[in-house]
Amino acid sequence: MVFTSQPNTAAAAPTTEARRRWFALFVVGLGVMMTFVNVSSTISALPPIQDDLHMSASMLVWVSSAFSLAVVSLVLSAGTLSDLLGRRRVFCYGVALFTLGSALAFAAPNAGLLITAQAVMGVGAAAVLPSSLSIVSHAFTDHHERTGAISVWASCAGLGLAIGPLVAGALLDQASWHAVYLTNLVLGVLALVLAPLFVAESKHPTRQFDPAGVLLGTIAIASATYAIIQGGASGYGRPPIIVAYVVFAVSLVAFVRLELRHHDPMLDLRLFKHASFATVMTIGAVTMFGFVGISLLTVLYLERIAHASALETGVKLLPMFVPYIVVSALAGRLARRVGIAPVLAAGLVLMGAGALALLMVGPFSGYGAMWPGLFVAGVGSALLVAPSTAAAVNSVPPLQAGMAAGSVNMFRQLGSVLGPSILGTLATTRFPKYLHEQLATAGVPSDTSEAVVAGATHGGSTGQLPAPLAHTLSLAVPRAFTDALHLGWLVGGVVLLVMVIPTVLFVRHPPATS
């Protein structure tokens, strides 16, 4: 009997340890889901926020962009800090900051405090994303098991994006926009309570702080991101935007020179000498460029052309989000069977094809023409996010997991900024031109057309126009706005399809090794 008990005891330890790993994945998944719930729910709440706080369009941009700016600027530095201070500690600090920011947003009486709250949440999210990925990478040491765990991690992001509009829509029907941020508070408190119980602490044993690298890297990323966001709202030729790009160029050159000479750099730039690693990082940016850009254009169509409510918009986005959640959990297994490069190439092709399929959506065609493209794009994005994230983390030694996690999250977040900034700006700037063309085709005189276009561009009412002109405008505006959205979907689809070429040529399994 003594001998029979020993194998049972030995078998129990790995089972308990395996269970703890998956509980830890659940806890950090709550943190990841929380950050993405905020992204999609805030977008859904923008119209009532603007109406209640009487915000201008240029200020409204910063309600969501303040969050993005903070995440992109700090996520790489946060990956380094998680290696130094402890991954669980930085994760908990991030969740606490995010929860505090959510409470500030819930109580915000004006635009300034709401934007400040979003920035605080962005700082928290910048800590949560790389630390959570490093925790997963450290807990799951087996290469194949780690890929599966990262697939679940990525699914949590999709789940957050999916439930954000649904919860926001339901709350907005019953309460003010402040209630949208209650979801963040609940998830944040739950993650804070569970993290000390199930997440083991880990850190890099020999990592040293690189203060100059952190400062220069943050300045470079923040200045470029600010220029992209504000340039899309006010114009890229304005003096402040030009100054921001100059600051970016100078700080980037200084950062590269410093990091190449540093014995323990914040970002090991030598990794980018490997074409596979550099390509995987670019895939991460392009994926979120397409995913967030396509989602934004779809929301604009549903709200402004189809006149859907916030809840209806969230429901109609499910054909994109549900496949993302389901397929993400299986993408790691598929990548193990057929290889990383084929899965990433297939994902880019499907996502690009889904974007181009949305060109079939007309101003009066209805939802039936939209959901197939959203479904295909959702499946494609699921084949991209988890495998590219796993490829980035698996491409470096375990001690560099924090650096790789910070890098891939930085590129993904940069893509999530570029997508709406570029594709959204394309749509909004081309709309007046297309509307003018529609009115000219309908025989509206040039001087009248210019006045009508100016009014429609700034949301003017057609109630005071003569009946024939009002009828013409009611047909011309949906057609012009749909044409503008088509341009955004077209550019997004082409960018995704072009990315297939370097993916096939350069991505290897495993990618680069340090």
CA-wise closest residue to 416 among 245, 294, 236: 294
Contact status, residue 24 vs residue 198, Cβ threshold 8 Å:
yes
d(CA 114, CA 167): 19
Confidence at residue 11, expressed as pLDDT on a 0 to 100 scale: 47
Confidence at residue 513, expressed as pLDDT on a 0 to 100 scale: 40
DSSP state of 201: P
d(CA 82, CA 91): 8
Question: Could you tell me the mean pLDDT of each successive run of 10 residues in the chain, 514 residues long?
Answer: 46 67 93 91 86 82 87 87 90 97 95 95 94 88 80 85 87 90 94 94 79 89 88 81 95 92 82 86 92 89 87 89 86 85 95 97 90 96 86 71 75 85 82 85 77 66 66 84 94 97 83 40
d(CA 57, CA 157): 28
Confidence at residue 509, expressed as pLDDT on a 0 to 100 scale: 55
d(CA 238, CA 251): 20
Domains of the chain with bracketed CATH: 17-208 (1.20.1250.20), 211-263 (no CATH), 268-454+464-514 (1.20.1250.20)
Q: Where are the beta strands (DSSP E) in 215-372?
A: none
Cβ-based neighbour number of residue 2 at 10 Å: 5
Here the tokens at position 320 are 């994109």
